[in-house]
Amino acid sequence: MIEAPALRRLLVVDPCDDCHRLLPGLRSVGWDVDSCTLENAADRPCDVGLLRLQPHHLEHPDAVKEVISRSGTEWIAVLNQEVLRLQNVGDFVCEWFFDFHTLPFDVSRVQVTLGRAFGMARLRGQGTVHIDQPEHELLGDSKPIRELRKLLSKLAPTESPVLIRGESGTGKELVARTLHRQSQRHSKPFVAINCGAIPEHLIQSELFGHEKGAFTGAHQRKIGRIEAANGGTLFLDEIGDLPLELQANLLRFLQEKHIERVGGSQPIPVDVRVLAATHVDLEAAIEKKRFREDLYYRLNVLQVVTAPLRERNGDLSMLANHFSHFYSHETGRRPRSFSEDALIALGKHDWPGNVRELANRVRRGLVLAEGRQIEARDLGLISHHAIAAPMGTLEDYKHRAERQALCDVLNRHSDNLSIAAKVLGISRPTFYRLLHKHQIR
């Protein structure tokens, strides 16, 4: 028995008389057609959208952009001669629509375009990751990120201080926020302070607060960050940059669980969980007398290490697609996928700035992209054609090529390892053996 093909859902928005006359023919070739106004389109699921573009849509384009962005599929614009003469209609259609048709319809061409749009929507959907987690919370399926999520689930319920270590841009504050969100203190404040971003003469007041008249310019009482976090979590970022004098005050607070505002004399009890983060070698700082050893042991009760992006094999494409969707709202442009050349360039880049650098490059790519895909040059990366391989022995070349092949295929098919193995022309057990050999995932 041959299974009937699944219906393809077409949503026609603000249909005109020509659109209504088109619908019976589309239904006869397998389209499940629904129609509605633009105001109701956001709640109607579809595989392809058809929108009759009108002058007021171009005067207030945000509603159209919102419907197209939320649908996650391809749309076709229907234009009459009046709309075609409007300024900037071409740029708007090219940016937000898969294709367009002018009235009256060429029925056979419409059917071909709808079929192509359906195929493109399916293809785009395979590489799209829809994320409902807060911000960019610990996204990825690589071994380091899976182990990190598992570790945080164990550490979050405790009350012990946690020292978060890792390179800049690896998401140390995100780890701290995750620990807070999964803790018993989640309904209380999360207060973050960057110890390296505040002038040294202001850190004392920022952390501990001050009383009115404590110093010139102190016109009223100020509650410090530690006191503001009472009942919740205090996150001290770049703790290695905290001046030695403040390190002593912080140590005293950790020991005694109370503070005194600058200019005050009354101890104020404060109940907070302290999380600290650093990208510097605190052990070396202790040897150079730049960091107190007793404070180090107070903060380093539990420890988390964030992995650099270059070690998170298979997460690049997922993160890049997420940032493409996330920043499309900010840039006012439709989310774009990445060309094959861009994906290769992403995989070959060393990512010294880690996830923060990736987010910034994708942001840049969305602004600069001229086609329907983001290219390597839009990301500020070198095309793979221009990258020269380093010299080495034949065995070195074989080892590098094998590892690069695994990383490249994971960047494209991390969500389906069976397909990844098939692309490389090997069995799934062999694929897993090679991942283990190269310590990937």
Q: How far apart are CA 278 and CA 16, in angstroms?
A: 61
Is the pLDDT at 349 greater than 70? The verdict is: yes
Can you read off the two tokens belonging to residue 89? 């209609």
**Dihedral, 321, 323, 326, 327 alpha carbons, nearest 10:** -120
Can you read off the two tokens belonging to residue 118? 């359906």
Low-confidence winner among 34-48, 60-74, 127-141, 164-178 (lowest mean pLDDT):
127-141
Low-confidence winner among 174-188, 207-221, 341-355 (lowest mean pLDDT):
207-221
- pLDDT-derived band at 116 (thresholds 50, 70, 90) equals confident
Backbone angles phi, psi at 76, to 5 degrees: -120, 135
Ramachandran region, residue 209 (left: φ > 0; alpha: ψ -120 to 50; beta: rest): left
DSSP string covering 95-126, please?
HH-SEEEESSP-HHHHHHHHHHHHHHHHHHHH
Query: What are the DSSP E strand ranges found in 243-399?
Result: 258-259, 268-269, 273-278, 302-305, 337-338, 373-374
* Closest listed residue to residue 312, CA positions, set 410, 424, 179: 410
Is the pLDDT at 4 greater than 50? The verdict is: no
Can you read off the two tokens belonging to residue 215? 């110093």
Q: Residue 1's pLDDT is what?
A: 38
Residue range 349-374: average pLDDT? 91
Cα of 20 vs its chain's centroid, Å: 41
- pLDDT-derived band at 238 (thresholds 50, 70, 90) equals very high
- pLDDT-derived band at 126 (thresholds 50, 70, 90) equals very low
Residue range 404-409: average pLDDT? 81
Residue range 383-391: average pLDDT? 57
**Environment class of residue 264 by beta-carbon count within 10 Å: exposed (0-12), middle (13-18) or buried (19+)?**
middle
Q: How far apart are CA 26 and CA 300, in angstroms?
A: 66
DSSP 387: P
Q: How far apart are CA 171 and CA 360, in angstroms?
A: 14
Is the pLDDT at 242 greater than 50? The verdict is: yes
Q: Residue 377's pLDDT is what?
A: 92
Can you read off the two tokens belonging to residue 116? 């192509």
Q: Residue 129's pLDDT is what?
A: 44
Threshold 0.85, pTM exceeds: no
Please name the amino acid found at residue 107: V
- pLDDT-derived band at 441 (thresholds 50, 70, 90) equals low
Question: Positive or negative CA dihedral for 141, 144, 150, 156?
Answer: negative
pLDDT in tens, 284-339: 999 999 999 999 999 999 999 999 999 998 888 889 988 988 888 777 788 888 88
DSSP 210: B
Distances 149 to 133, 251, 276, 302, 354 between C-alpha atoms, Å = 13, 29, 18, 15, 18
- For tokens 């442009």, the residue is 333
Q: How far apart are CA 317 and CA 410, in angstroms?
A: 9
pLDDT in tens, 189-237: 999 999 888 887 788 888 888 888 777 777 788 888 999 999 999 999 9
**Environment class of residue 77 by beta-carbon count within 10 Å: exposed (0-12), middle (13-18) or buried (19+)?**
buried
Q: How far apart are CA 343 and CA 365, in angstroms?
A: 13
Residue 117 has a CB neighbour count (10 Å cut-off) of 23
Is the pLDDT at 83 greater than 70? The verdict is: yes
Low-confidence winner among 192-201, 248-257, 387-396 (lowest mean pLDDT):
387-396
Q: How far apart are the first and last CA of the chain?
A: 42
Low-confidence winner among 13-27, 65-79, 229-243, 415-429 (lowest mean pLDDT):
415-429
Can you read off the two tokens belonging to residue 328? 């499309």
